[in-house]
Structure 1
């Protein structure tokens, strides 16, 4: 069943156009990698899906519901859990308070999040601002899971983290995929991203330039659209 259908969206920053007819679709249980160099429209696409930056044209349908006239909090309640770039935990709340702040009943409980990220259980009463960057990223993922989303969106979830923490995040992503959670993920670590993805969508200058299965993403395509 189709979970997300992004149809030819055009999104602007003021008078400057950022997306030019971007298309993206996801089935339930699918993991899709949204790829491209920096500044090519990946984060803008995510913000448009969440209606944080409403497209000026095109259409987005999530779980059978058009989202274009829904405020961001209602889009989230449809079942989208966002882990934004830069983590953005509530710094003056404890780990526990961050996790339960937007929690909704369902499969993901505090106990299950703590099983996925044992460090969060160890730091239950610490203020989020006192955590390391990697621990804050775990907290951001856990907070999104506590909303019991139908779709989890990860925007650069491992950027700037120590290698051991990156491995913890990727382990969690593999676990979530194994449980059938739909995931839209942006990340530059192709060695970890491609094995977990079912499909890849590449953007360049706010436009779709390629999509297909990870095994079809040749070295030439990587150099052309993803190389520095």
Structure 2
């Protein structure tokens, strides 16, 4: 069953077109990687899914329901959880308060988040502003999980983080996958992203140019679409 389906989505920033026909889908229980060089439309695609950028044409369906044109808060309530680029934790709230502020009923409780990220348990009473960048990213993931989403979406999952923190986050995503959590993830570290992904979609200049399993991303394709 497809949770999320995008078909030939186009969107604009003002008069400037950013997406020129993005198509992708995420099925129940799978991890999908959204890939591409900087500036190719990955974050715009995420923002368009969540209604933060309006789709001018094409279709965006979640659980079979057309969501293009709906307001962002309504889309989030349908069961989409976003870990945005830049983390955006509430700096003047504690770790525990950040986890509580958007929580909805379900299996993902604060305690389960602390089991997934023991570092957060140790810092539950600290203000988010005092956490390291990696700890803030863990908190952002935990906060999204406490909304109990059907689909977890991560934009730049480990960008700018120390290797040891990246390892912890990828291990956590592996545990989420094993538990059946559906995930759409944007990241640039292919060596860490590809082993956890079931399928990949690659964007080039705002359009989908590859869709398939990680094994289909040959070295030539990686160099063509993902190389620096």
CA distance in 2, matches of 1:103, 1:63: 21
Instruction: Find runs of 4+ consecutive structure 1 residues off by over 6 angstroms.
Output: none
Determine the structure 2 residue equivalent to 1:150: 150
**Pairwise CA distance, 1:125:** 1.0
CA distance in 2, matches of 1:143, 1:93: 12
Determine the structure 1 residue equivalent to 2:5: 5
SS of 1:201's equivalent?
A: strand
SS of 1:56's equivalent?
A: strand
Matched ranges for 1:139-218 at <5 A: 139-218=139-218
Flag structure 1 segments of 5+ consecutive residues without an equivalent. none
SS of 2:55's equivalent?
A: coil
**Pairwise CA distance, 1:131:** 0.5
Deviation readout 1:69-104 (Å, 9 max, x if unpaired): 321011001000000011000111111110010000
Flag structure 2 segments of 5+ consecutive residues without an equivalent. none
CA distance in 1, matches of 2:66, 2:152: 18
Task: Quote the RMSD (CA, aligned, Å).
Answer: 0.7
CA distance in 2, matches of 1:125, 1:203: 41
SS of 1:52's equivalent?
A: coil
Q: Is the 8 A contact 2:55 2:69 kept in 1?
A: no
CA distance in 1, matches of 2:154, 2:115: 20
SS of 2:68's equivalent?
A: coil
Deviation readout 1:19-77 (Å, 9 max, x if unpaired): 01110111111111000000000000000111111101111110122112321011001
Determine the structure 2 residue equivalent to 1:18: 18
Matched ranges for 1:29-108 at <5 A: 29-108=29-108
Aligned length: 228
CA distance in 1, matches of 2:9, 2:213: 23
Give the structure-2-normalised TM-score.
Answer: 0.99
Determine the structure 1 residue equivalent to 2:28: 28
CA distance in 2, matches of 1:28, 1:50: 18
Deviation readout 1:180-207 (Å, 9 max, x if unpaired): 1110001111111001001000000001
CA distance in 1, matches of 2:64, 2:100: 28
Give the structure-1-normalised TM-score.
Answer: 0.99
